[in-house]
Chains A and B, each alone.
Chain A
Amino acid sequence: MAEPLISVRNLKKYFDVGRGKTLKAVDGISFDIYPGETFGLVGESGCGKSTAGRTIIRLYEPTDGEVIFNGENIYQLSRNEMNRIRRNFQMIFQDPYASLNPRMPVEDIIAEPLDIHKAYKSNKERRDRVIELLKLVGLNEEHAQRFPHEFSGGQRQRIGIARALALNPKFIVCDEPISALDVSIQAQIVNLLKELQKDLGLTYLFIAHDLSMVRYISDRVGVMYLGHMMELATSEELYSEPIHPYTQALLSAIPIPDPEVQRNRHRIILEGDVPSPIDPEDNCRFVDRCRFATDRCRKEVPEFREIKKDHFVACHRADEIIKGTIN
């Protein structure tokens, strides 16, 4: 494979929640994202996937770790240097209602990144670029003067995408871009994101909790749980041969839209809820809900290691699971 576009190394983001307590939202994750690929990040609410996405493009200052982009650790850049490099990073948000300023016409919303980075010479150039972007996302010129409330959810998400594309970024963090949309509209947006990726050579970090959609859109997928990366593999392999007990449970919990298959499959139902990320113990984060937990899992954090080619997993018992000696 080519050189990674972005390398995340031992990234940590802690939040001080008062009374001397620390919320460890992201607690030492490492992975690479290659140019032109879609890297899916999945996990349940509170697992730290959104915090990871935001910290990677330095919307949050990290607690520890590095992110290498173009050979530079972006966390060491000064404010000015960061502004220069930031045009390569963009973000698409979950809520198309909250992420567009209701008092701005669409033209100004889409042109805001251009304004900030002074990326045009004349007003005509600005307007032409906005119209070009609108067409790129399947809207048209007449939409430029309207306000966000005049659009449906799917159209608003298109506006958000146009804004993200304004500066020709290389890397886009898509934070649950389709969860707020109806099924029929989700497919429209996902198809659009795929087309844009092909035409413009974009790289995505696609954060979502809808596992079937993530499988469909991603080349490789990472599974997070309570701030740790549990497993990482190509999407085909992760879904066909999941190793980590958490990934197995997560996949078996997705209801399949086919009554015969759904009612006859063997399912692993996890007990309990995701524990609190505040001051977690130094053990496998999944230990309390795991079918295979041993004393070692309670004492040691399992190492995140490459167990097969391009397949990483953080589990003490991964070898036994692969060999099938435990079930």
Chain B
Amino acid sequence: MGKLLEVKDLAVSFQTYFGEVEAVRGISFHVDRGETVALVGESGCGKSVTANSIMKLLPMPPAFYKSGQIFFEGEDIVKKSEKEMQKIRGDKISMIFQDPMTSLNPTMKVGKQIVEGIIKHHGLSKDEAKKKAIEMLDLVAVPQPEKRANQYPHEFSGGMRQRVMIALAMVSNPELLIADEPTTALDVTVQAQILDLMKQIQDKYGTSIILITHDLGVVADMSDRVIVMYGGKLMEEGTTHEIFKNPKHPYTRKLLDSVPRLDMDRSESLHSIAGTPPDLYKPPKGCPFFERCDEAMIICKDHMPEKEYHTNSHYSCCWLNHPMAKGATEGSEI
């Protein structure tokens, strides 16, 4: 298993009327072949911008790459032209979005939307492409695929539309699937179906998945590794087990504590995080979580902590975990 995608020191900003909004501020991570990496964080933390910049889908301007490289199969995506990207998008990297209604064309039959992609990337004839489209609908378990291919998106339920989106994304058997909040708009019973489908497809084709979500339950279910993002920066990264069982960053801990668990006592109050995330128009110089952190120290205000590795796969960016920090947190293995 080698690295499929490697993001190095990526920074993406938006030039607005009021000034520069620094949405993503120097992040590095990688995705191996066949694994699922979850990108977790609250609204505005930069997780969707990260995903869209891998696909080069951000409108430029106002968006621009401030620094960094995105290596996909060894080639830097940041340097690629729009024409080159069109060959990669939908073929090697695909994306599914939160709202399947707005990402399908409402005036076009579902089958035709899939056929369009097949003809573009595979150069099959119309009849062959149509056959393939029906196969794809069958793969994602849309019942009566021949009949459904001739219907419009509004005739599909939310869950079925998301299945169509997955079919569309999988036509070319991409190496990497970016799923941006794929089940947020769905009900829990349908969410369970879609997550199961994604797992089946991954088993069958060995696709790598970047799963963007704020639902920690979904993360626990799906991912191999977890990256926690806040204020445009990465706070912590580790295997799913490490992040859930041994979170090292105060933000990760707080995030895990703020979700009610089915086994918790109802008289306990939930651990909320006071305040709101920082404004990335004027991002803080130091740790972005400084203002909301109970354990903040003076150094946190002006200096962004470096990565501190706890194991080969697990690091966090927090001064508390620095070897020089006095009274390191309880249970730490340093």
Most buried by A among B189, B191, B269, B276: B189
Given the interface pairs A215-B262, A257-B259, the reply to whether A152 lies near B276 with Cβ below 8 Å is yes
State whether the Cβ of B270 lies closer than 8 Å to any Cβ in chain A.
yes
Contact, CB under 8 Å: A184 / B260: no
Q: Which residue of A lies closest to B258 (CB)?
A: A187
Given the interface pairs A191-B272, A257-B244, A259-B240, the reply to whether A182 lies near B214 with Cβ below 8 Å is yes
Taking CB atoms, residues of chain B closer than 8 Å to A261 are 220
Contact, CB under 8 Å: B188 / A212: no
CB distance from B22 to the nearest CB of A (A): 19
Complex Cα–Cα for A262 and B271 (A): 22
Q: Which residue of A lies closest to B274 (CB)?
A: A188
Contact, CB under 8 Å: A259 / B241: yes
| B interface size (C-beta, 8 A) | 43
The one of A44, A155, A183 in contact with B187, judged by C-beta atoms closer than 8 angstroms, is A44
Taking CB atoms, residues of chain B closer than 8 Å to A251 are 262
State whether the Cβ of A269 lies closer than 8 Å to any Cβ in chain B.
yes
Contact, CB under 8 Å: A269 / B261: no
State whether the Cβ of B193 lies closer than 8 Å to any Cβ in chain A.
yes
Q: Which residue of B lies closest to A192 (CB)?
A: B272
Contact, CB under 8 Å: A187 / B270: yes
Give the size category of A's interface with B: 35 or more
Taking CB atoms, residues of chain B closer than 8 Å to A256 are 217, 220, 261-262
Interface residues of A in 41-87 (CB under 8 A from B): 44-45
Total A-B residue pairs with C-beta atoms closer than 8 Å?
127
Interface residues of B in 238-278 (CB under 8 A from A): 240-241, 244, 254-256, 258-262, 264, 266, 269-274, 276
Most buried by B among A44, A250, A254, A255: A255
Interface residues of A in 225-241 (CB under 8 A from B): 235-236, 239
The one of B43, B191, B219 in contact with A257, judged by C-beta atoms closer than 8 angstroms, is B219
State whether the Cβ of A199 lies closer than 8 Å to any Cβ in chain B.
no
Contact, CB under 8 Å: A273 / B196: no
State whether the Cβ of A253 lies closer than 8 Å to any Cβ in chain B.
yes
State whether the Cβ of A213 lies closer than 8 Å to any Cβ in chain B.
yes
Complex Cα–Cα for A199 and B226 (A): 40
Interface residues of B in 257-309 (CB under 8 A from A): 258-262, 264, 266, 269-274, 276
Contact, CB under 8 Å: A273 / B159: yes
Taking CB atoms, residues of chain A closer than 8 Å to B193 are 269-270
Complex Cα–Cα for A148 and B233 (A): 29
Complex Cα–Cα for A256 and B269 (A): 19
Complex Cα–Cα for A209 and B189 (A): 11
Contact, CB under 8 Å: A262 / B266: no
State whether the Cβ of B328 lies closer than 8 Å to any Cβ in chain A.
no
Taking CB atoms, residues of chain A closer than 8 Å to B157 are 273-274
Taking CB atoms, residues of chain B closer than 8 Å to A235 are 266
Given the interface pairs A182-B214, A216-B264, the reply to whether A191 lies near B43 with Cβ below 8 Å is no
Q: Which residue of B lies closest to A155 (CB)?
A: B276
Contact, CB under 8 Å: A216 / B187: no
State whether the Cβ of A185 lies closer than 8 Å to any Cβ in chain B.
yes
Complex Cα–Cα for A194 and B270 (A): 10
Complex Cα–Cα for A190 and B193 (A): 29
Q: Which residue of B lies closest to A236 (CB)?
A: B266
Complex Cα–Cα for A155 and B20 (A): 25
State whether the Cβ of B192 lies closer than 8 Å to any Cβ in chain A.
yes
Interface residues of A in 132-185 (CB under 8 A from B): 152, 154-155, 182-185
Q: Which residue of A lies closest to B268 (CB)?
A: A216
Contact, CB under 8 Å: A249 / B244: no
Q: Which residue of A lies closest to B244 (CB)?
A: A259
Taking CB atoms, residues of chain A closer than 8 Å to B259 are 183, 187, 212, 257
Contact, CB under 8 Å: B260 / A213: yes
Taking CB atoms, residues of chain A closer than 8 Å to B42 are 182-185
State whether the Cβ of A3 lies closer than 8 Å to any Cβ in chain B.
no
Taking CB atoms, residues of chain B closer than 8 Å to A194 are 269
State whether the Cβ of B190 lies closer than 8 Å to any Cβ in chain A.
yes
Complex Cα–Cα for A184 and B294 (A): 14
Q: Which residue of B lies closest to A152 (CB)?
A: B276
Given the interface pairs A249-B189, A259-B240, the reply to whether A216 lies near B220 with Cβ below 8 Å is no
The one of B188, B196, B262, B271 in contact with A239, judged by C-beta atoms closer than 8 angstroms, is B262
Complex Cα–Cα for A269 and B159 (A): 14
State whether the Cβ of B118 lies closer than 8 Å to any Cβ in chain A.
no
**Nearest 5 A/B pairs, CB to CB:** A255-B217, A187-B272, A216-B260, A44-B187, A184-B273
A–B pairs, 26, beta carbons within 8 Å: A44-B187, A184-B258, A184-B272, A184-B273, A185-B276, A187-B259, A191-B269, A209-B188, A212-B259, A212-B262, A251-B262, A253-B188, A255-B191, A255-B195, A255-B215, A256-B220, A256-B262, A257-B261, A259-B220, A259-B240, A260-B241, A262-B220, A263-B221, A269-B196, A270-B189, A273-B159
Given contacts A183-B255, A211-B188, 19 further A-B contacts (CB under 8 A): A45-B187, A182-B214, A183-B258, A184-B42, A184-B273, A185-B42, A185-B276, A188-B273, A212-B259, A212-B261, A236-B266, A255-B217, A256-B261, A256-B262, A258-B220, A262-B217, A262-B221, A273-B158, A274-B187
